[in-house]
Each structure stands twice: as structure tokens, then as C-alpha cells.
Amino acid sequence: MRALVLDQQRSIDDSPLELRDVPFPEPGPNQIRVRVHCCGLCHTDLHVVEGDLPPHKMPVIPGHQIVGTVEKTGANVAKFKRADRVGIPWLHRTDGSCQFCRRGLENLCEHGQFTGYDADGGYAEFTVVDEDFAYPIPPQFTDENAAPLFCAGIIGYRSYRLSGIQPGERLGLYGFGASAHIVIQFARYLGNKVYVFTRSENHRRHAEDLGASWTGRAEDAPPQPLDAAIIFAPAGSLVVDALKATRKGGTVACAGIVMSQIPSFDYNQIYHERVLRSVANSTRQDARDFLELAAKVPIRTEVQIYKLEDTNRALQDLKHSRITGAGVVRV
């Protein structure tokens, strides 16, 4: 099969992903082999490629917002059959027995594995996954429009939940890429006013088109204090901006897997029981709950399509904020 392989972590501007012929992956017991139709682009892919995350499996096939159809099943597979359409997200496997799994926090599993990082992912014609870590896709979503749901959507949903935002309250979104353009849709559906902070004029216009109550730059003061904020852009300075904009008792949730250094700030900016928290990965229940909500809204993802052989360029566009909505590789 054709696949994009990363041998050594280095800048995406050097086009480090190489298109090669590699052996088909064979499904083991309880696994399915999926013919990949498309795979969404994610900043985590950039972190894997460029070395912001330490190498785990190397060489590796990145990509973890996968949509495709079941092409082969291993022994004991009961949930899916050949030709079923499925999605595969970042969470690839958990041990099910560590202290975090037992507490319902499998996103923090001590032996968790992740798609496109610990296991080969979706920048390829085929991939394999345990059937318990794949999900049926609501029929109203096309393959390309479904792909961003499987990380941008799921992690955005978990970030929204952990922010503690309630219906009718004001939610701030810092950065307006693939995840934020999904969050604003279900947040408005759930009754929130959404304020968007981004340096890009194109992204501010996009947010306004999707119903943002206000848009501005990160350093701008919103017309009213935020009840909660979610930071998607990996810039530590945004933590200070978001805390300044958030009311007493509000929460600032950091959705990224990495972030630049957070500058020091005065204690009074977090005083009055403001909460600063990170969001790490997601659970299978997050995925199930979000996909159900996405179908109800329904979420309309805006996507920019690339060919598999153009994935280096696609990730360069992602890195340099040249994508509106979400980027998707069609395999």
C-alpha cells in the first residue's frame, strides 16, 4: 500500500514525510483493517513530525482523524463487518486496568497508545485498530466532513465540558482553527454566546459567519467578562490574556497537547477562584457523546482537501495558518 512515512523528526518545511510502498497491516484478534478514505490534519501531527513530542514509534505513519470502511476483520470481531464506515481518533488503545482507567479517566491511561504516534495512522491507504476504538459515523456526514470530528471535534467537546460552561453563559475561544470552528457551532446550539480571539482577519470573519457574538485579538478586552475560555492556539501568552478576560470563579481550559512557555503573572489574575486547567486526550465516551451531539446540531465542517502526495504542503499550510476551517487529506 502507499503510505507517508516519517523516519526522523524535523521541520515540516523540510517536507520530511516520504511517500512509499509498505506492507499491508494485518488485523489481529479483535482488530479491523480499515481502507482509509480520508484523514484530517491536526496540529498534533505537526508536533509529532517536528519533534515537539518525543519520538515513540519510529518510523511511523502519522494521522489520527481517520475515516474509512472496514476491509477485513480479525478473529472475534463482533461490532463491525466488512464495508461498515468507521472513524478512528487519537486514542488508539488503553490497558483498561490502571488506576486512571478504573476511575473512568482512560484518557490518562498509564499505558495509553495513540494513533499516528504509538501506532501507524491514517496517512496511508490502510490502517488497523481494535474494534473498541473505532466508531460508526452518523450517515449525514460525508467522509471529508466527518474526518475533523475525530479529533478537532472530540477534543473540542471535552474542552468545552471541562471548562464548566453552562447554557446561556459567555464562552471565549482563543485561536480559530479546525477545533474552534466546530465548538462554536455546538456551543451556540447549547445556548452560549461565543467570543472569538484570533490575530487572523480571515478567521475573525469566519467566526462571525458562524455566529460569534464578538471577535477581536487576544489582547483585546471583550465587551463583557467571559464565564469560561478555551485556548486552542499553542501560545503560552494567551493564558494571561484569557485569565484577564475571565470573571471570578471562571475556568480557562488549555486544549493543546503542547504549549509555549507561559509567562509569569500576578497572583491577582487567578485569584477569586479562577481555574486554569489542561485538557489531555479524550475518552471513548467523549467520542460517543460528541458524535451524537454533532448529528443533532448538525455540525457543518468546512474543509480544504489535499491529495495524499501533497500532505507535506498541507501540514505546511496548517503550520502557517493558511487553512480556513479544517484540512483533510483524501487518500
159 and 127 co-located in one domain: no
Distance CA 27, CA 71 (A): 10
145 and 287 co-located in one domain: yes
Which residue, 278, 298, 319, sits at the end of a domain? 278
**Torsion sign, CA atoms 56, 61, 66, 69:** negative
The C-alpha cell that represents 18 in the structure block: 516520504
The total domain count for the chain is 2
Q: Please check whether residue 39 is in contact with residue 122, taking contact to mean a CB–CB distance below 8 angstroms.
A: yes
192 and 234 co-located in one domain: yes
CATH of the domain at 163: 3.40.50.720
210 and 253 co-located in one domain: yes
Which residue, 236, 256, 278, sits at the end of a domain? 278
Domain that holds residue 131: 2-150+282-330
210 and 298 co-located in one domain: no
233 and 294 co-located in one domain: no
Count Cβ atoms below 10 Å from residue 84 Cβ, excluding itself. Answer: 16
CATH of the domain at 97: 3.90.180.10
**pLDDT score for 89:** 98
Nearest to 231 by CA among 269, 174, 153: 174
How buried is 44 (Cβ within 10 angstroms: 0-12 exposed, 13-18 middle, 19+ buried)?
buried
132 and 167 co-located in one domain: no
Point out which residues pair with 36 in neighbouring strands: 68
Distance CA 310, CA 312 (A): 6
292 and 256 co-located in one domain: no
274 and 286 co-located in one domain: no
DSSP annotation of 65 reads -
Distance CA 237, CA 232 (A): 12
6 and 136 co-located in one domain: yes
Q: How many residues does the chain have?
A: 331
22 and 100 co-located in one domain: yes
Kind of pairing between the strands at 226-231 and 246-254? parallel
Alpha carbon 254 to chain centroid distance? Answer: 13
What does pTM read for this prediction? Answer: 0.95
Distance CA 54, CA 258 (A): 11
Q: Please check whether residue 71 is in contact with residue 128, taking contact to mean a CB–CB distance below 8 angstroms.
A: no
**pLDDT score for 24:** 93
SS3 227: strand
SS3 169: coil
Distance CA 278, CA 174 (A): 14
**pLDDT score for 65:** 98
42 and 93 co-located in one domain: yes
Which residue, 257, 278, 299, sits at the end of a domain? 278
pLDDT averaged over 10-residue windows placed end to end, the chain, 331 residues: 98 98 97 98 96 96 98 97 98 98 97 98 98 97 98 98 97 97 98 97 96 97 98 96 98 96 96 98 98 98 97 97 94 96
